Amino acid sequence: MINLYFILPEIFISLSIMVLLIIGVFKNNSSKLIYTFSYLVVIISLAININISDNFSLFNWKFFKNRVSNIDFMFITWHDSNG
């Protein structure tokens, strides 16, 4: 059985985006709220990513994590939230 703990940051980001989209659609004038929560999601996903152990692979090396991919994830996540 595959341990889904290792892909927790991606699952968290996906579910958070869906929730933020739903809030944005159904709540009037929610841009400031969405903006604030999106930064909170980025910070939490970075913390989750840092706390997961290094050097593992899943799905026959189709998904892997090492120190370089950890840095890439942090850079891409932070860059996407700022731009």
pLDDT in the model for residue 54? 66
Mean of the pLDDT values across residues 24-31? Answer: 90
Asked whether the whole model's pTM tops 0.95, one would answer no
pLDDT in the model for residue 47? 82
pLDDT tens-place string over residues 47-67: 887 777 666 666 666 666 766
Check residues 63 and 36 and name the one with the higher pLDDT: 36
Q: From CA 35, how far away is CA 3, in angstroms rounded?
A: 32
Domain ranges for the chain, please list them: 4-82
Spatial CA neighbour of 9 closest among 34, 44, 37: 44
